Structure formats: C-alpha cells, structure tokens
C-alpha cells in the first residue's frame, strides 16, 4: 500500500472534496466513500482493527485538518514542481513539513476523542433502552388505578387503603363521621353528604 500521507492507501487518490479523509482510532486514514459504499469496510485496511458501527443518525467524521494540509501541499507542488517539493531541503520546506506533521498529530488526537465520544454515546443509548424497558408501566395496574372509585363518590389512585385521597374520608358505613379533631382531643362529628370544608371538615 502507498504510505504517502496525502493519498488514500486503498484507491491512491489525493485527499480532496470527493475523496474526503477520515481517521480511525488506530491512527490510519482512508476515504469516507470506502465506508459508505454498498459493501463498506468493517476493519482498518492497514492494521485490521475493528471499526465502530454507526447508528442511523451518525456519520463519519471528516479529517478537515488533513484535507486542508493535502490541499496546501498540492498547491505547493503545482507552483514549484514535484521534483522541487520532493528534493528541496530549504528552511521554508522543512518548516512547512513540520507544520503539516504537527497538524496531523493534532488531527489524530481529535479523531480519537471523537471516536471515544461515539462509543460513549452508543453505550448510553443501550443503557437508556434497557432502563426504558425495565420502567415500562404494567397495563393491568394502570387499568386498576383508573377504575378504583371510593365509596364517597370520588375516583382515587390509592389502591391499598380504604381512605380517599380527595376528601381524606373513609368509605361511608355510618351516617356520621369524625370531621375534625382539635389539639385537646375534642372530636367534631358531621353528617355525610353535608356541606363542609374539604380541608378542616367543619360545616
């Protein structure tokens, strides 16, 4: 395979707007079109490392810094000639080569962070799906709650007690009930279905 950093190691095309580069966690770079074709790659062609499987809403990250470096390198070759670029040892050429290497190292680090972010997002999606399945409500319990009407005439969500959550009353079994108890212990009684305050049960 071609080891030139400005070319794809599979199709040997220079990086451009058609052959856009993407860098894997292992540090190797290929064209994105090799990953989005009818039979995409499942492993790195350089080291055979496994590639992550993207979800429907995810896309491959473009290595913009490497693409821009290849574009600059191509313009420089067109202006000075291939032989001058390949054989020149002047300070401007060495400086440009060092800048390209620095940009490439920074790009690889950014792509590794992006790949880790994709892996973390995939794990969070799996955990959320598992949590949603565990927390799905029981349809039988929901039906029982909606049909649980108290004897006082109210519909209440309480299913384990005789008390009503709307009027704090028990099911009517006597014509009178304890409407209010003061701090001393005096009990006020009231007749059922009689007008009273729903908070203190005083007529």
Q: Collapse the DSSP code of 75 into the 3-class scheme (helix H, G, I; strand E, B; otherwise coil) and give the result.
A: helix
Number of structural domains the chain divides into = 1
Tally Cβ neighbours within 10 Å of residue 125: 11
Summarised one tens digit per residue, pLDDT across range 10-67 is 888 877 777 888 888 787 888 877 777 666 677 787 788 787 776 666 667 777 777 8
Query: Residue 155: left if φ>0, alpha if ψ -120 to 50, beta else—which one?
Result: beta
Residue 173 lies in a domain: no
Tokens of 143: 């039906």
Residue 62 lies in a domain: yes
Residue 185 is assigned to a structural domain of this protein: no
Residues 30 and 24: their CA atoms lie apart, in Å, by 9
Q: Kindly state whether residue 111 falls inside one of the protein's structural domains.
A: yes
In a domain, 72, yes or no: yes
Q: What is the pLDDT of residue 3?
A: 44
Residue 171 pLDDT > 70: no
Mean pLDDT of 5-9: 80
Q: Which pTM value belongs to this model?
A: 0.33
Joined together, the tokens standing for residue 54 give: 């993207």
Torsion, CA 62, CA 68, CA 74, CA 75, rounded to 10: 150
The predicted pLDDT at position 118 comes to 78
Q: Which domain holds residue 57?
A: 21-134
CB 82 within 8 A of CB 65: no
Task: Report the alpha-carbon distance of residue 203 to residue 198 in Å, rounded.
Answer: 9
Tell whether 109 is covered by a domain.
Answer: yes
Q: For all residues of the chain together, what is the average pLDDT?
A: 70
In a domain, 6, yes or no: no
Domain annotation covers residue 75 = yes
Pick the closest to residue 188 from 171, 170, 200 (CA basis).
Answer: 200
Rounded-to-integer distance, Cα 167 and Cα 174, Å: 16
Residue 2 confidence (pLDDT)? 42
């Amino acid at each position: 395979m071609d080891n030139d950093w400005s070319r794809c190691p599979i199709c040997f095309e220079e990086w451009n707007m058609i052959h856009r580069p993407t860098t894997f966690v292992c540090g190797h770079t290929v064209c994105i079109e090799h990953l989005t074709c009818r039979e995409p790659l499942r492993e790195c062609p350089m080291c055979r490392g496994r590639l992550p499987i993207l979800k429907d809403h995810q896309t491959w990250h473009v290595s913009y810094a490497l693409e821009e470096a290849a574009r600059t390198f191509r313009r420089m070759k067109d202006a000075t000639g291939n032989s001058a670029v390949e054989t020149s040892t002047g300070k401007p050429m060495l400086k440009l080569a060092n800048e390209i290497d620095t940009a490439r190292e920074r790009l690889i680090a950014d792509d590794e962070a992006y790949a880790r972010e994709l892996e973390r997002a995939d794990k969070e999606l799996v955990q959320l799906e598992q949590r949603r399945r565990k927390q799905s409500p029981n349809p039988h319990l929901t039906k029982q709650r909606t049909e649980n009407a108290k004897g006082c005439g109210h519909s209440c969500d309480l299913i384990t007690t005789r008390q009503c959550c709307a009027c704090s009353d028990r099911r009517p079994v006597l014509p009178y009930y304890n409407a209010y108890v003061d701090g001393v212990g005096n009990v006020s009684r009231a007749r059922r279905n009689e007008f009273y305050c729903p908070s203190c049960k005083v007529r």
